[in-house]
């Protein structure tokens, strides 16, 4: 019976195909693989009614997206083409990433069969809108069912439809779903002869990337030697963007095309070679060809050439950010184009000057010619000079030298002048974040910082400061200090003289200890000192009597001082990702503590002091190897959030169900086989994340927000 229906699907009569399709679809998932494949072919049937019978079979209905957006399917099958276009355009729009939608809210897999059916629509507007939606879905959704329709659209009369179909093919070939094109490559290749340049080039892009990714370099060579120079140009240009492709194969082929009869092909080949070369010898081969474009009349051509040289030099001189190239370089080929590069420094385009100037700086740095760099900087004006300064990586070369001294002197003079001006104006807020003249950023502050006696808010973050001058203690009005993302290893004793300091940001530094004088910061309320290298805190730390927020995560603390319990105003305490094995006895005296994070430490038990924190609302203890949650958890009557993921819990105590304020429980990746009764009676519980346990829950079927449904499933299962 099924074989007969499959045969009828190929009947020339629409009515016969339609009837057979309906009968097969009515059988649901019981049909054979052969029948499914036959139904797939109907998605490109010439009759729209037949196509949408197949759509009924393949549409994913067991997902929330379908239930939420199913009206879109109705639009796509509407008799009015305008309605179908509206549906496709809406689907295209929903796939766009934004700051509001979650990833799963952008998935339109449920609509791919219907979009595939619309690609075969006669009105080109419907076809084009459907293709755009399919293209937009490539990143997030499996579009395998739509591929035959896309390939079919390559044969449409409409140039805009063929162009969009070619772009879909290109994106598929260059993405994770390239295997879906394997059965269609021969037909796709015929589009290399298309009369539309955009179609031809998109297909050349896609095929080149596809074959290169499959290591079929013979096919790549066919494209690189194609009779059409546009195909050759596009193919060699595509090899430049392939970060996962074999570099050696690319370099050898780009070199070969440097002798191409087309000047455009030669230039693109040179650009590809410069992008992919990892040795100076390979890169320098292309330089004479590229340098010929430096005096070109067209601004874009000159900039293209300048950036090509700059990219190549950077790639071969700095293959990693950690070290310089030690290999001896034969600079002869590069020196041959130096006259053209120096001439380009007179270019009217600032962008050209910056690219060429940076390239010259790389060359001078590598050959230890700092005086030439200084001369270049002095001869360059305005923004071009500033950008050149930022391109320098002088910390990679022997110090001291004249360049380092020149740059550091410029830094100090610039800042000292700015500090004097700010002091004269009695400025209250000042930022010098990332203010260094060079890319290595500011290493030291001038003593003139002590003049800023009126400053209340100071931002010195994002530099390369190794220490703070003792003069910082003179800033008696300072209330907020941001010193993040530097390389501070110590704070001066005078730091304790900042008697009005209320807020201090020190995260992402290299601090190994705090001075004893740190405890003198009696006005301090907010301290953010994560991601440093602190091994201990001074005993004076407990003197920070006004401290309300403390973040010490990402350090190397093994213990806290006994004075820690004196922080009577502390509301939030973050101690995650340290090496703590316990807490001081005084910790339970933190009567105002609302939030405590002890995740990722070396504690296999929750210290008993935690259960003395009667006002605690949030407790995080993830990643500690915890095997048992003590019954004393029931003492934390105000607890709202309990975060225990990545532990070794096999059960939870009944007392957990007696916490009336509990709203959020996260026990992801534990070993729970059951849950205590009564959790379903917690009226405020709105989040229960149980993923990665042994409760028989399916991630696809259950969501942490579905508290009542999940608990009912688990309790019912336990009764059985």
pLDDT band at 438 (very low <50, low <70, confident <90, very high): very low
Are 193 and 223 in contact, with CB atoms under 8 Å apart? no
> Is 493 part of any domain?
no
Q: Looking at the structure, do residues 700 and 626 belong to the same domain, yes or no?
A: yes
DSSP line for 615-635:
T--EEE--SS------GGGGG
pLDDT over 60 at 255, yes or no: yes
The confidence score (pLDDT) of residue 401 equals 56
> Is 388 part of any domain?
yes
Is the sign of the CA dihedral 23, 25, 30, 36 positive or negative? positive
Is the sign of the CA dihedral 708, 709, 712, 715 positive or negative? negative
Are 475 and 492 in contact, with CB atoms under 8 Å apart? no
Q: Looking at the structure, do residues 409 and 352 belong to the same domain, yes or no?
A: no
Read off the pTM: 0.60
Q: What is the CATH number of the domain that holds 316?
A: 1.25.40
Q: Looking at the structure, do residues 114 and 146 belong to the same domain, yes or no?
A: yes
Cα distance between residue 315 and residue 282, in whole Å: 11
For residues 559-582, average pLDDT: 97
% of the chain surpassing 90 pLDDT? 66
Mapping DSSP onto H, E and C, the string for 243-276 reads CCCCHHHHHHHHHHHHHCCCHHHHHHHHHHHHHH
For residues 15-19, average pLDDT: 92
For 22-55, write each residue's pLDDT tens digit: 988 888 888 899 999 999 999 999 999 999 999 9
For residues 634-655, average pLDDT: 96
Highest mean pLDDT among 55-59, 360-364, 394-398, 528-532: 528-532
> Going by C-beta distance under 8 Å and a sequence separation of 6 or more, which residues neighbour residue 191?
154, 162, 166, 199, 200, 203
Q: Looking at the structure, do residues 326 and 369 belong to the same domain, yes or no?
A: yes
pLDDT band at 495 (very low <50, low <70, confident <90, very high): very high
> Is 54 part of any domain?
no
For 408-434, write each residue's pLDDT tens digit: 777 778 889 999 999 999 999 999 887
For residues 615-642, average pLDDT: 97
At residue 459, φ and ψ (nearest 5 deg) are -115, 115
pLDDT over 80 at 437, yes or no: no
Q: Looking at the structure, do residues 135 and 198 belong to the same domain, yes or no?
A: no
Last residue in a domain, options 103, 120, 153: 153
Tally of structural domains, the chain: 7
The confidence score (pLDDT) of residue 387 equals 78
| DSSP bridge partners of 666 | 643, 689
Instruction: Report DSSP state, residue 587.
Output: G
> Is 51 part of any domain?
no
For residues 129-145, average pLDDT: 90
The confidence score (pLDDT) of residue 584 equals 97
Q: What is the CATH number of the domain that holds 589?
A: 3.80.10.10
Cα distance between residue 531 and residue 554, in whole Å: 4
> Is 536 part of any domain?
yes
% of the chain surpassing 70 pLDDT? 92
The confidence score (pLDDT) of residue 698 equals 62
The confidence score (pLDDT) of residue 707 equals 84
Q: Looking at the structure, do residues 129 and 68 belong to the same domain, yes or no?
A: yes
Q: Which residue is associated with the tokens 């740190």?
A: 518
Q: Looking at the structure, do residues 263 and 281 belong to the same domain, yes or no?
A: no
Q: What is the CATH number of the domain that holds 266?
A: 1.25.10
Q: Which residue is associated with the tokens 């990545």?
A: 646
Pairing of strands 572-574, 595-597: parallel
| DSSP bridge partners of 618 | 595, 641
Q: Looking at the structure, do residues 394 and 306 belong to the same domain, yes or no?
A: yes
Structural domain that includes position 4: 1-42
Is the sign of the CA dihedral 346, 347, 353, 356 positive or negative? negative
The candidate with the shortest Cα–Cα distance to 695, out of 715, 672, 668, is: 672
Last residue in a domain, options 251, 272, 293: 272
For residues 436-464, average pLDDT: 83
For 471-480, write each residue's pLDDT tens digit: 999 999 999 9
pLDDT over 60 at 113, yes or no: yes
Q: Looking at the structure, do residues 612 and 698 belong to the same domain, yes or no?
A: yes
Are 286 and 268 in contact, with CB atoms under 8 Å apart? no
Helix (H, G, I), strand (E, B) or coil at 595: strand
pLDDT band at 96 (very low <50, low <70, confident <90, very high): low
The confidence score (pLDDT) of residue 102 equals 47
CA distances from residue 315 to 120, 324, 395, 482 in whole angstroms, order as listed: 47, 11, 18, 35
Are 266 and 260 in contact, with CB atoms under 8 Å apart? yes
CA distances from residue 678 to 99, 650, 652, 708 in whole angstroms, order as listed: 37, 18, 12, 11
What's the chain's average pLDDT?
Answer: 89
> Is 311 part of any domain?
yes
The confidence score (pLDDT) of residue 101 equals 44
pLDDT over 60 at 103, yes or no: no
For residues 278-286, average pLDDT: 89
The confidence score (pLDDT) of residue 499 equals 95
Pairing of strands 664-666, 687-689: parallel
The confidence score (pLDDT) of residue 324 equals 44
Tokens at 385, concatenated: 């000079």
> Is 281 part of any domain?
yes
> Is 247 part of any domain?
yes
DSSP line for 650-661:
S---GGGGG-TT
pLDDT band at 323 (very low <50, low <70, confident <90, very high): very low
For 164-205, write each residue's pLDDT tens digit: 999 999 999 999 999 999 999 999 999 999 999 999 999 999
Cα distance between residue 489 and residue 511, in whole Å: 4
DSSP line for 478-497:
--EEE--SS------GGGGG
Q: Looking at the structure, do residues 532 and 465 belong to the same domain, yes or no?
A: no
Cα distance between residue 52 and residue 38, in whole Å: 14
Helices (H), 257-326: 263-276, 280-291, 299-317
Q: Looking at the structure, do residues 347 and 423 belong to the same domain, yes or no?
A: no
Helices (H), 183-256: 185-189, 197-213, 217-224, 229-241, 247-256
**C-alpha torsion 303→305→307→313, nearest 10:** -160
For 361-409, write each residue's pLDDT tens digit: 888 888 878 788 888 888 988 888 877 877 665 555 444 456 666 777 7
Q: Looking at the structure, do residues 196 and 282 belong to the same domain, yes or no?
A: no
């Amino acid at each position: 019976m099924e074989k007969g229906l499959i045969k009828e699907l190929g009947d020339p009569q629409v009515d016969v195909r339609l009837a057979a399709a309906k009968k097969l679809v009515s059988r649901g998932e019981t049909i054979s693989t052969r029948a499914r494949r036959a139904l797939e072919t109907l998605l490109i049937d010439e009759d729209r009614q037949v196509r949408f019978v197949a759509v009924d079979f393949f549409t994913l209905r067991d997902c929330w997206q379908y239930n939420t957006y199913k009206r879109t399917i109705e639009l796509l099958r509407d008799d009015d083409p305008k309605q179908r276009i509206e549906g496709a355009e809406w689907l295209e729009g929903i796939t766009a990433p934004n700051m509001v939608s979650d990833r799963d809210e952008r998935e339109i897999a449920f609509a791919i069969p219907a979009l595939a059916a619309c690609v075969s629509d006669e009105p080109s507007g419907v076809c084009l809108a459907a293709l755009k939606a399919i293209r937009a879905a490539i990143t997030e959704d499996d579009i395998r069912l739509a591929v035959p329709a896309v390939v079919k659209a390559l044969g449409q009369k409409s140039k805009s439809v063929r162009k969009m179909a070619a772009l879909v093919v290109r994106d598929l070939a260059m993405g994770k779903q390239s295997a879906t094109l394997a059965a269609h490559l021969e037909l796709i290749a015929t589009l290399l002869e298309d009369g539309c340049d955009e179609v031809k080039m998109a297909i050349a892009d896609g095929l080149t990337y596809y074959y290169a990714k499959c290591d079929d370099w013979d096919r790549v060579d066919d494209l690189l030697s194609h009779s059409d120079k546009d195909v050759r140009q596009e193919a060699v240009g595509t090899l430049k963007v392939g970060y996962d492709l074999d570099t050696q194969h690319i370099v050898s082929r780009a070199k070969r095309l440097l002798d191409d009869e087309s000047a455009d092909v030669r230039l693109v080949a040179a650009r590809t070679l410069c992008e992919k070369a990892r040795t100076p010898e390979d890169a320098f081969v292309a330089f004479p060809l590229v340098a010929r474009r430096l005096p070109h009349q067209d601004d874009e051509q000159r900039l293209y050439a300048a950036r090509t040289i700059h990219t190549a030099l950077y790639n071969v001189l700095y293959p990693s950010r950690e070290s310089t190239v030690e290999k001896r370089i034969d600079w002869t080929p590069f020196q041959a184009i130096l006259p053209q590069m120096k001439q380009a420094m007179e270019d009217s385009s600032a962008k050209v000057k910056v690219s060429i100037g940076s390239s010259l700086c790389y060359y001078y740095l590598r050959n230890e010619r700092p005086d030439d760099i200084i001369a270049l900087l002095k001869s360059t004006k305005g923004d071009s000079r500033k950008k050149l300064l930022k391109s320098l990586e002088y910390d990679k070369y022997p110090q001291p030298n004249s360049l380092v001294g020149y740059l550091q002197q410029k830094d100090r003079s610039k800042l000292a002048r700015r500090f004097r001006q700010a002091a004269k104006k009695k400025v209250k807020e000042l930022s010098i974040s990332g203010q260094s003249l060079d890319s290595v950023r500011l290493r030291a502050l001038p003593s003139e910082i002590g003049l800023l006696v009126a400053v209340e808010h100071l931002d010195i973050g994002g530099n390369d400061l190794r220490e703070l001058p003792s003069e910082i203690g003179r800033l008696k009005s300072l209330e907020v200090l941001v010193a993040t993302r530097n390389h501070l290893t110590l704070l001066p004793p005078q730091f304790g003289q900042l008697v009005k300091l209320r807020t201090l940001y020190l995260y992402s530094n290299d601090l190994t200890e705090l001075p004893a004088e740190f405890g003198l910061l009696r006005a301090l309320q907010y301290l953010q000192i994560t991601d440093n290298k602190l091994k201990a805190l001074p005993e004076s730390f407990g003197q920070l009597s006004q401290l309300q927020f403390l973040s010490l995560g990402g350090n190397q603390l093994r213990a806290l001082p006994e004075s820690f319990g004196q922080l009577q105003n502390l509301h939030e305490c973050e101690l995650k990702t340290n090496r703590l094995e316990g807490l001081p006895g005084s910790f339970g005296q933190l009567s105002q503590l609302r939030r405590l994070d002890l995740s990722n430490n070396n504690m296999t038990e929750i210290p008993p002091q935690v259960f003395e924190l009667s006002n605690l609302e949030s407790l995080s203890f993830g990643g500690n190897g915890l095997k048992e949650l003590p019954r004393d958890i029931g003492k934390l009557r105000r607890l709202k959030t309990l975060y225990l993921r990545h532990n070794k819990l096999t059960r939870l105590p009944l007392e957990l169900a007696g916490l009336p304020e509990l709203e959020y429980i996260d026990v992801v990746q534990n070993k729970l086989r059951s849950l205590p009764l009564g959790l379903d009676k917690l009226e405020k519980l709105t989040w229960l994340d149980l993923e990665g346990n042994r409760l028989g829950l399916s991630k696809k079927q259950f969501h942490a927000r579905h508290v009542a449904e999940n608990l009912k499933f688990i309790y019912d299962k336990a009764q059985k």
